[in-house]
Amino acid sequence: MNKQLFSVSDMNCSGCVSTIRQSLESDARVKVVDIKLSKKQVSVEGDLSFEETAEIIREAGFKPEAGVEKKSFLGNLFSS
């Protein structure tokens, strides 16, 4: 199972979140979807390639980019 993180800068509201979530969850290969609107991040776990997952998000009407996990200041301070 792969875990992928996307930055979706054009995701602006709870409606966007719902659209992306429904699109991803309609694919049986997707196991877990975690969306953080405040960070404009979409995390997906499942049996899809990065490109297959990105295509689902694009078909939902959004522009996914490879995401980078952002830690808070304290997370950076205390991580090893």
Neighbours of 17 (CB within 10 A): 17
Q: For residue 70, name the pLDDT band (cuts at 50, 70, 90).
A: low
Instruction: Give residue 75's region: left, alpha or beta (phi > 0; psi -120 to 50).
Output: alpha
User: Which 3 state secondary structure label does DSSP give 55?
Assistant: helix
Q: For residue 69, name the pLDDT band (cuts at 50, 70, 90).
A: low
Round to whole Å and give the CA distance between 1 and 74: 30
Q: What is the CATH number of domain 2-78?
A: 3.30.70.100
pTM: 0.83
pLDDT tens-place string over residues 11-68:
999 999 999 999 999 999 999 999 999 999 999 999 999 999 999 999 999 999 998 7
**pLDDT for residue 42:** 97
**pLDDT for residue 67:** 81
DSSP-assigned letters across all residues of 21-54: HHHHHTSTTEEEEEEEGGGTEEEEEES--HHHHH
